């Protein structure tokens, strides 16, 4: 992993754990464009709270990626971050997010789970479901966000 001045410039298969997870370390504020593309072993991605920006196509073409955890620093998912990848089974979003927008539509499996970090080690879990060409997640039997 190459990091310079808080910017993640490069990752390789050597940076993945034995089970295929890439954990971007605390202190990284930005991920460059196409930094972690086409890594067949990558199954999970964890981004730190310090991260504020992600470059276009940063983690594209990772066909085995099943899970991504966004830290509190990201305010929305930039378009094209995971283009050409597989369908996520789990997406963990910060407590500040109230909605998923259409930039994630192409990244979600039909049966994906949204996990929302509420702070104090508390997580809320919502099943994500498809209705036609739209995705929704529920809270207390009412839709709180449609894509």
Per residue in 16-26, pLDDT (tens digit) is: 999 999 999 99
CATH number at residue 72: 3.80.10
The pLDDT profile of the chain, 147 residues, written as one tens digit per residue, is 999 999 999 999 999 999 999 999 999 999 999 999 999 999 999 999 999 998 888 888 888 988 888 888 887 776 677 776 667 777 777 776 655 555 555 565 555 666 665 565 555 565 565 555 555 555 443 333 433
Task: Specify the number of domains making up the chain.
Answer: 1
CA–CA distances in Å: residue 89 to residues 81, 110, 114: 16, 8, 9
Pure H helices in the chain: none
pLDDT for 67: 86
What is the widest separation between alpha-carbon atoms in the chain? 46
Closest CA to 12 of 41, 46, 45: 41
In sequence order, what are the residues at sequence separation of 6 or more whose Cβ sits closer than 8 angstroms to the Cβ of residue 93? Answer: 70, 100, 114, 115, 116, 117
* Strand partners for 139: 142
pLDDT for 126: 58
Report field, pTM of the whole predicted structure over 0.85 = no
Burial of 94 (0-12, 13-18, 19+ CB in 10 A): middle
In sequence order, what are the residues at sequence separation of 6 or more whose Cβ sits closer than 8 angstroms to the Cβ of residue 6? Answer: 27, 28, 29, 30, 50
pLDDT for 7: 97
pLDDT for 113: 63
Structural domain span for residue 108: 2-146
């Amino acid at each position: 992993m190459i990091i310079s001045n808080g910017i993640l410039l490069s990752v390789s298969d050597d940076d993945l754990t034995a089970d295929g997870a890439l954990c971007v370390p605390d202190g990284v504020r930005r991920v460059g464009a196409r930094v972690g593309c086409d890594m067949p072993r990558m199954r999970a991605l964890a981004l730190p709270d310090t991260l504020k920006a992600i470059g276009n196509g940063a983690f594209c073409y990772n066909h085995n990626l099943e899970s991504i955890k966004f830290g509190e620093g990201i305010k929305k998912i930039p378009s094209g971050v995971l283009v050409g990848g597989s369908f996520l089974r789990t997406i963990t979003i910060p407590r500040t997010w109230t909605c998923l927008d259409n930039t994630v539509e192409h990244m979600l499996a039909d049966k994906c789970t949204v996990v929302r970090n509420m702070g104090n080690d508390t997580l809320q879990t919502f099943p994500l479901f498809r209705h036609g060409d739209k995705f929704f997640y529920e809270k207390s039997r009412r839709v709180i966000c449609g894509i």
